[in-house]
Structure 1
Amino acid sequence: MSGVQDQLEIKFRLSDGSDIGPKSFPAAASVTYLKEIIISQWPKEKENGPRTVKDVKLISAGRILENNRTVGECRSPLCDIPGGVTTMHVVVQPPPLEKEKKVINDPKQNKCVCVIL
C-alpha cells in the first residue's frame, strides 16, 4: 500500500449536526486515539462535553467502534470512497450520577405501617 492509502480523512459529526474535522489519520490509529482527539478538540461553547474516552461512542457505517481496534480495521469497504471523507458519528454518554447509597436495614427507609385494631 502507498502512504496516501494509509491515511484516512475523517470528520466527526456531533449530535447537533456540527463537525470536528475533517482531519487526516493513519490507518494504524486506534479508536481510543480518535476519541482523545475528539475530547481535546471539543468546542468550548458546547455544554456536556465528554471528559474521558469512556464517555464517547464512535459510530461508523452503523457500527459502534471498539477502543482496541484500529481505524483500518473499522473501515467499511462499502462506505469508504478512495480520497473521500469518512464521517463518524459521535455520541456522548456522560457517566451516571452517583446515587445515594441506602442501607437495607435502615428503619427510616421502611415505609410499612402496621395497624392493629
Structure 2
Amino acid sequence: MGTEFLELKFRLYDGTDIGPNKYATTTTVGSLKESILSQWPKDKEQNPRTINDLKLINAGRILENDKTLAESRVPVGEIPGTVVTMHVVVRLPAPEKGPEKPPSKKIKESRCSCTIL
C-alpha cells in the first residue's frame, strides 16, 4: 500500500495563506511547523522564531508536535482533490521583565468628593 498524501494550506492570523502543498500522512506536526517557519512571509508584524511559537489548529483541535498527520486524525481523502486548511496561531513568548513587585497589601480606599456650586 502506498503512502497517502494530503494537500494542506495554512491560514495565518491576518487571513493570508501559506501553501497549498502536499504532505505525507506520516509527516509530524513539528515538521509542518518547520516548513511554515521557512515559508513565513518576512513582512508580517509577528514573526515566530521557533516551532514552539506556533500552534496549528485543525477541526478545532490544537495539534501536538510529536504526532503525525494520521495520528492527529486530519481528514484524509474524504473528498478527493480538496485542500485541508489549518489555522496557524502565533504565540510569542512574553518579553522578559525585571522582578515583579508583589501586589500591595494595602486596600485602596475609594474616596468620593463632591463639590456643589
Q: Contact 1:61/1:79 (CA < 8 Å) preserved in 2? A: no
Q: Contact 1:80/1:86 (CA < 8 Å) preserved in 2? A: no
CA distance in structure 1 between the aligned counterparts of 2:14 and 2:99, rounded to whole angstroms:
35
Off by >3 Å, runs of 4+ in structure 1 = 76-80
CA distance in structure 1 between the aligned counterparts of 2:87 and 2:42, rounded to whole angstroms:
19
**What is the identity, as a one-letter code, of the residue corresponding to 1:50?**
P
Structure 1 stretch displaced more, 87-96 or 77-86: 77-86
Question: Residue 115 of structure 1 aligns with which residue?
Answer: none
Measured after TM superposition, the shift of residue 103 of structure 1 is 8.3
Alignment of 1:94-105 (within 5 A): 94-101=92-99
Question: Residue 48 of structure 1 aligns with which residue?
Answer: 46
In structure 2, the CA distance between the partners of 1:99 and 1:41, relative to structure 1 (3 Å rule), is same
CA distance in structure 2 between the aligned counterparts of 1:75 and 1:41, rounded to whole angstroms:
24
**What is the identity, as a one-letter code, of the residue corresponding to 1:2?**
G
Measured after TM superposition, the shift of residue 77 of structure 1 is 4.3
Question: Residue 27 of structure 1 aligns with which residue?
Answer: 25
Cα RMSD (Å) of the superposition? 2.4
- Please, which runs of 5 or more residues in structure 1 have no aligned partner? 105-109, 113-117
Question: Residue 88 of structure 1 aligns with which residue?
Answer: 86
Measured after TM superposition, the shift of residue 111 of structure 1 is 9.6
Measured after TM superposition, the shift of residue 2 of structure 1 is 3.4
Matched, 1:13 2:16: no
Q: Larger % of helix: which?
A: 1
CA distance in structure 2 between the aligned counterparts of 1:78 and 1:27, rounded to whole angstroms:
8
CA distance in structure 2 between the aligned counterparts of 1:99 and 1:86, rounded to whole angstroms:
40
TM-score of the pair, normalised by structure 1: 0.79
**What is the identity, as a one-letter code, of the residue corresponding to 1:54?**
N
SS at match of 1:37: helix
Q: Contact 2:9/2:85 (CA < 8 Å) preserved in 1? A: yes
Q: Contact 2:26/2:70 (CA < 8 Å) preserved in 1? A: yes
Aligned-residue sequence identity (percent) comes to 54
